[in-house]
Amino acid sequence: MKYSAVFLVSVLSALSCIQAQHDPHFWTGHSTIVHLFEWKFSDIAQECERWLGPRGFGGIQLSPVNENVIVEPPASDSNRPWWERYQPVSYQLTTRSGTEADFLDMSRRCNAVGVRLYVDIIPNHMAAHPADGSVGYGTGGSTAVPRDRDFPAVPYTLSDFNPSCEITDWNDRVMIRNCELFGLPDLNQGLDSVRDKLVAFMDHLIDLGVAGFRVDAAKHMWPQDLEVIYGRLKNLNTDFGFPAGARAFMMQEVIDNGDHEVVRKYEYSHLGTVTEFMFSFYLGRAFRGNDDLVWLESFGEAWGLLPSRDALVFVDNHDNQRHDHGTILSYKLPKPYKMAIAFGAAYPFGQLRIMSSFAFDDFDLGPPMDGNGNIVSPSINTDNSCGNGWVCEHRWRQIANMIKFRNICWGTPVANWWSNGANKIAFSRGNRGFVAFNNQGVDMLEILQTGLAAGIYCDVISGDKVGNSCTGKSVTVLTDGRASIHIAHDAEDGVLAIHVESRL
């Protein structure tokens, strides 16, 4: 069979675009995406300048930025649920996080300090129909409450949606893609009328400087439809520092918990990264003490995870931290949680995303709000932690310092793996960094090969290097690269980490 030159160029161009959708466009020396869950745009801009940029974070996942329904709380409660943001009524950039002008200011300021933006978008569905008065008008003041699949501010009408049906069989891939998730009106992405509006919305965000998107409920849309939509998008805006021809980075939400699933993560990996939920499951089990750490030596694709290039990995996200079933770790179990994130940051697998939460006691609770329903800004304490109900895991010393470790060790292999055959492990990242973990009920005291040059190093978990001294523990590496590694079983943190820039 003969192919024309035009055909071959077209195919190669399409493949190049798809491959580019795996690139998060981090600045050199930056990595890791932090999900600033429900933050206001003005607070995000400040956080880029005062913390995320200087600390080498690569980017931010934003909560949905387009107009959504207002779920009216009971009269005794001013707090609206977090999930209302996942019920869009239009593509106007007005939410409780701010306006389009606020968004553009944030985008300019964050991109200027090397922090990229990725918007959480909801192309699968629109808002539920108001029936009991619990759902109010849109946050942007749309002229009509959506009814009968009529969303005039987009506009969408009945013909833009799949026929109404409930997902009753999770082994039916057609039902999963074409019926209503949680009763939310299901858009038909196979229609040009729907594709046109989604592309226009995403292109507008690209004009405003975003680097990519987190695609909510990708599992519930046909991959071939998403491929067309992604392929029609503009290149990223060079006015925000992106190179010519750069394509939007894609993080596609596909909940795939194993071989019993009928819709698999592999169906979407050619289009960009895919949420690798088994990463959080396995690390949660290991650092909760239900599996031995020794097995993590081969962690990754050999465990049934996606290839590293395709995997968006995380210890928790805004959904599974709210229903962990005894396996998922979150800020509520700080010691094993910090250990799991330290492993995720030190081990070279996948594109890492970390949570930045607000405190919650029940599933529905929304972000900290005042009596008028306005989001309350995080306060910043003298120890760099947050107040006003915000957890800010990305500001925890142990987590922020491990993102720097990840950046310093970028591109180096795992070496000098050691274990005691159970729950004490250690490894180096080439000759750039070394990390050790003790998840056992007895102290760890071992002479181990660090791979590092001789010298005194500050442990970046227990403290920082400040001038010519360490605020936490120090480690002396001998001329042969070995060092005495001590982690007490009852220490605040079960991790020790050193790297070339923590050397005195």
User: Which residues are annotated as catalytic?
Assistant: 216, 253
What is the DSSP track for 133-144? S-EEEETT--SS
How far apart are alpha carbons 401 and 498 in whole angstroms?
10
Quickly count: other Cβ atoms within 10 Å of residue 276's Cβ: 27
Taking a C-beta distance cutoff of 8 angstroms, is the pair 186, 162 a contact? yes
Instruction: Give the ranges where 38-145 is alpha helix by DSSP (H).
Output: 41-47, 100-112
Q: What is the largest CA-CA distance in the chain?
A: 74
Amino acid occupying residue 221: M
Taking CA 482 as the corner, what is the angle to CA 477 and CA 488, rounded to the nearest 5 degrees? 80
Residue 497 pairs in a beta bridge with 435
Q: Is the peptide bond before 155 cis (omega within 30 degrees of 0)?
A: yes
The neighbour count for residue 498, using CB atoms within 10 Å, is 29
Burial of 49 (0-12, 13-18, 19+ CB in 10 A): middle
Q: Which residue blocks in 72-180 are alpha helix, DSSP H? A: 100-112, 173-178
Is there a contact between 318 and 214 (Cβ–Cβ < 8 Å)?
no
Task: Report yes or no: 296 and 347 within 8 Å, Cβ to Cβ.
Answer: yes
The structure tokens 């993590």 sit at 296
305 Cβ contact partners less than 8 Å away, ≥ 6 residues apart: 276, 278, 279, 299, 311, 349, 350
**How far apart are the C-alpha atoms of 74 and 41, rounded to whole Å?**
27
Query: Which of helix, strand or coil describes residue 419?
Result: strand
Of the candidates 69, 70, 68, 44, the one whose C-alpha atom is nearest the C-alpha of residue 57 is 44
Do 119 and 213 contact (CB within 8 A), yes or no?
A: yes
Token pair of 83, please?
A: 């999930």
Nearest to 222 by CA among 176, 168, 286, 160: 176
Q: Are strands 424-429 and 474-477 parallel, antiparallel or unpaired?
A: unpaired
Pick the closest to residue 399 from 56, 62, 61, 38 (CA basis): 56
Instruction: Give the number of other CB atoms < 10 A from CB of residue 361.
Output: 6
